[in-house]
Amino acid sequence: MDALKCSSSTFLPLTNLNTLFSNHAFPKSPAPNFNRRAAQPLSLSAKDTARTSEPENVAVVEKPPPSKRFLVSDGLPSPFGATVRDNGVNFSVYSSNSVSATICLISLSDLRQNKVTEEIELDPSRNRTGHVWHVFLKGSFEDMMYGYRFDGKFSPEEGHYYDSSNILLDPYAKAIISRDEFGVLGADDNCWPQMACMVPTLGEEFDWEGDMPLKLLQKDLVIYEMHVRGFTRHESSNIEFPGTYQGVAEKLDHLQELGINCIELMPCHEFNELEYYSYNPILGDHRVNFWGYSTIGFFSPMSRYSSASSRNFAGRAINEFKTLVKEAHKRGIEVTTNFLVAKYFLLGPFLIDSKQVIMDVVLNHTAEGNEKGPIFSFRGVDNSVYYMLAPKGEFYNYSGCGNTFNCNHPVVRQFIVDCLRYWVTEMHVDGFRFDLGSIMSRSSSLWDAANVYGADVEGDLLTTGTPVSCPPVIDMISNDPVLRGVKLIAEAWDAGGLYQVGMFPHWGIWSEWNGKFRDVVRHFIKGTDGFSGAFAECLCGSPNLYQGGRKPWNSINFVCAHDGFTLADLVTYNNKNNLANGEENNDGENHNCSWNCGEEGDFVSISVKRLRKRQMRNFFVSLMVAQGVPMIYMGDEYGHTKGGNNNTYCHDNYLNYFRWDKKEEAHDDYFRFCRLLIKFRDECESLGLDDFPTAKRLQWHGIAPETPDWSETSRFVAFSLVDSVKKEIYVALNTSHLATLVTLPNRPGYRWEPFVDTSKPSPFDCITHDLPGRETAMKQYRHFLDANMYPMLSYSSIILLLSPIDDS
């Protein structure tokens, strides 16, 4: 995640750059307080100042009155969250600094009216073990939700924000109820209406139909980064429930046709899309948090991605997400999520090519922002535990979004592992992509040997946020027995300047988004001098980064992702065009390594349009012939454009919607090219190696065979690769503005024949055996190939295959 995806208009200037604090202002008031006491703004009033002098961990309470609806007993301190057992529900929550706790039961109808159905005050002598509050309830939980009130010190300078007027979400809540419809305001135009947690019930068990993990080899994956709502929200999707989990499941045939076997889902955890809500006069709509990188509940799937949302209760979102995973797996597709950590799962009705699902998980910060943000869960439950704090209570901002999750605190790292286990065991996801994953390598607010390892080590005290070589949370994840075999992908940088691509703590199993691959490939393809050698490293799986403990498949190769230019915009714009974001074009990355091919924007000459088509194909060839795991961004397979906007985090509109009508237009053109290249990669044994290629298999060439040119001015790279299926393949990329005549390596008894030539118009850019007119096309090359030569236009790529010479 790029820090710039968070609207700069929602932040005040940093008051201290050395400690990375920022002020996060929210456009609407936070959750209502059920007519108790206002919780905002979070400034120290005289009342608040007086409260800081209260005893820190002393609770003086009368015996709670008996419940009228529920049979109340002590309960158990584990597991955390709400758990069905013994014909009742056990509730357990960690809160080390609170002095009292109350569980609030809320019916769906009362939630809409900001009313509490029943409150049960917990007795610390019976309902508290150590730092864990717990209670066991029996009764009718139909249409019932819950939350907590905690009381204690309200002392921001000490890191405490206890306020019993707030009804808080359980950090372990499996489903969260709030507004019904995506992008629609709550009552009284509130962007932050009261939320509540679903009380679990036994109910009918979800039918997984025998679904099991696909366990695809990572070297064989082709990853597709997808936004659930954006994938089917456009009217051209022509489905009943656009913008939902069910909508994605209905469109899995597209991924199967393309050849995708792993989906990486952008954030699917509960978030508030109205966090940035404001009118956008440029487009005439409203800015929202479309991408979802601002988590509210890490265990809860986004409820407004379900076909019915809370109108059919929160369990609907859980089941629809499970259905998506199950259907993906049927089609051989793994699913991973962005977690700001992610998981793999399969989609579709037939078991054809195995497909996985990866989740994008955002375990680096939450939607509560800094001290000016709302209090709806972690901050009110135990602020000093869940967030990285400076000595005077300020929030460290390594995420760029107001706060930083205290990942290496003992309680928080257990929370993270529990969360990942839940998505693997209960939701069947296949892996995770960890957004701003480098934050997980930073020391916690309580970093010292006693807190981390249980014993003091002299000189071990570290400054909060210092990167450590063996982070406990990454150690736990890497060695957890339940998570073994799960795909783990790190975005190996953060907004605080920590950049760990090639150096992320890996235990031999972590992969990384290879941002260096992206930058080098962009420079080389657009013809920048001095990148031929670095480009060759990328083609080999970046051994300069991953050799020595890891493999080529630990490199997730990509040219484009959700933040930044799309592939079509990469060859169309030299400069970003982010005015529609409402931030005067100040947001988004300025250094995009893009080239407009000679003219800026859409309205250009025919020759520029042709060159752009070649360049898009050149990028895709580079991605498909490189060792490592290729990742494609949603829509790039047909040439989706965002009009040069490289930071579309706030747009719930055509900028972020997959255009199914445009995909059909490109079906026999660029989409065909991408589909055939993915199929070719899958067929070649040599393009998904388990280790880095050596001279026994790989041979570099220049304009002449076996004479590569690695000089500063070289813009030509070619190689041949021995392949057990195709015998041998020859790949060349000419990124010069000049055409060239290439001499090919001599293979007695065989002739090189073109498979890909990006300088040719479709369908002759990829010549398959069943292509009508193939023989005529091949005759046009014959006199060159008979002489063991091949002409290459400027900015073009070729893939040649060996064919036996027929003497007859």
Kindly tell me if the per-residue pLDDT of 309 is higher than 60.
no
Catalytic residue among 435, 512, 636, 757: 435
Report the phi/psi class of residue 643: left, alpha or beta, with left for phi > 0 and alpha for psi in -120 to 50: left
Task: Report d(CA 408, CA 424) in Å as an integer.
Answer: 21
Q: Which domains are seen in the chain, by residue range?
A: 71-198 (2.60.40.10), 219-266+516-692 (3.20.20.80), 362-453+460-513 (no CATH), 694-804 (2.60.40.1180)
Kindly tell me if the per-residue pLDDT of 416 is higher than 70.
yes
Q: What is the pLDDT of residue 343?
A: 31
Q: Tell me the per-residue pLDDT of 60-83, one tens digit each, with 9 for 90 and over.
A: 345 556 777 899 999 999 999 999
* Range scoring the smallest mean pLDDT among 169-173, 217-221, 425-429, 802-806: 802-806
Contact 384, 411 (CB under 8 A): no
* Range scoring the smallest mean pLDDT among 198-207, 297-306, 374-383: 198-207
Q: What mean pLDDT do residues 225-254 have?
A: 97
Task: Report d(CA 753, CA 769) in Å as an integer.
Answer: 11
Higher pLDDT, 202 or 70: 70
Apex 722 CA angle, 718 and 726, nearest 5: 105
Copy the structure tokens of residue 94: 């960690």
User: How far, in Å, are 23, 62, 464, 696, 720 from residue 699 at the CA level?
Assistant: 55, 81, 49, 8, 5
Q: Tell me the per-residue pLDDT of 488-510, one tens digit each, with 9 for 90 and over.
A: 999 999 999 999 999 999 999 99
* Range scoring the smallest mean pLDDT among 293-302, 331-340, 382-391: 331-340
Q: Tell me the per-residue pLDDT of 567-604, one tens digit each, with 9 for 90 and over.
A: 999 999 999 999 999 999 999 999 999 999 999 999 99
Q: What is the pLDDT of residue 546?
A: 97
Q: Tell me the per-residue pLDDT of 726-780, one tens digit each, with 9 for 90 and over.
A: 999 999 999 999 999 999 999 999 999 999 999 999 999 999 999 999 999 999 8
Q: What is the pLDDT of residue 104?
A: 98
Q: What mean pLDDT do residues 220-231 have?
A: 98
User: How far, in Å, are 297, 352, 353, 424, 552 from residue 357 at the CA level?
Assistant: 20, 15, 13, 11, 21
Task: Report d(CA 76, CA 95) in Å as an integer.
Answer: 15
**Residue-by-residue DSSP string for 366-390:** -TT-STTS--SSHHHHHHHHHB-B-
Q: What mean pLDDT do residues 182-191 have?
A: 92
User: How far, in Å, are 41, 339, 434, 685 from residue 491 at the CA level?
Assistant: 34, 11, 6, 28
Q: What is the pLDDT of residue 463?
A: 83
Q: What mean pLDDT do residues 455-462 have?
A: 56
Q: φ and ψ at 284, to 5 degrees?
A: 75, 20
The residues near 76 (Cβ < 8 Å, ≥ 6 apart) are: 90, 92, 134, 136
DSSP letter, residue 166:
S
Q: Tell me the per-residue pLDDT of 607-654, one tens digit each, with 9 for 90 and over.
A: 999 999 999 999 999 999 999 999 999 999 999 999 999 999 999 999
Q: Is 491 a catalytic residue?
A: yes
Q: Is 435 a catalytic residue?
A: yes
Q: What is the pLDDT of residue 455?
A: 56
pTM of the full predicted structure?
0.90
Kindly tell me if the per-residue pLDDT of 35 is higher than 70.
no
> How far from the centroid of its chain's Cα atoms is residue 143's Cα?
32
Comparing C-alpha atoms, which of 671, 647, 656, 650 is closest to residue 586?
647
Q: What is the pLDDT of residue 68?
A: 79
* Range scoring the smallest mean pLDDT among 231-240, 454-463, 535-544: 454-463
Comparing C-alpha atoms, which of 679, 341, 699 is closest to residue 490?
341
Kindly tell me if the per-residue pLDDT of 788 is higher than 70.
yes
Contact 759, 793 (CB under 8 A): yes
Q: How confident is the model at residue 462 (pLDDT cuts 50, 70, 90)?
A: confident
Pairing assessment for the beta strands 128-129 and 796-804 based on DSSP bridges: unpaired
Higher pLDDT, 47 or 629: 629
Q: φ and ψ at 122, to 5 degrees?
A: -90, 140
Q: Tell me the per-residue pLDDT of 312-326, one tens digit each, with 9 for 90 and over.
A: 566 889 999 999 999
Task: Report d(CA 554, CA 255) in Å as an integer.
Answer: 23
Copy the structure tokens of residue 494: 């953060």
Mean pLDDT of the chain: 89
Q: Tell me the per-residue pLDDT of 668-707, one tens digit each, with 9 for 90 and over.
A: 999 999 999 999 999 999 999 999 999 999 999 999 999 9
Catalytic residue among 151, 371, 430, 491: 491
DSSP-based three-state secondary structure for 740: strand
Kindly tell me if the per-residue pLDDT of 58 is higher than 50.
no
Q: φ and ψ at 137, to 5 degrees?
A: -120, 140
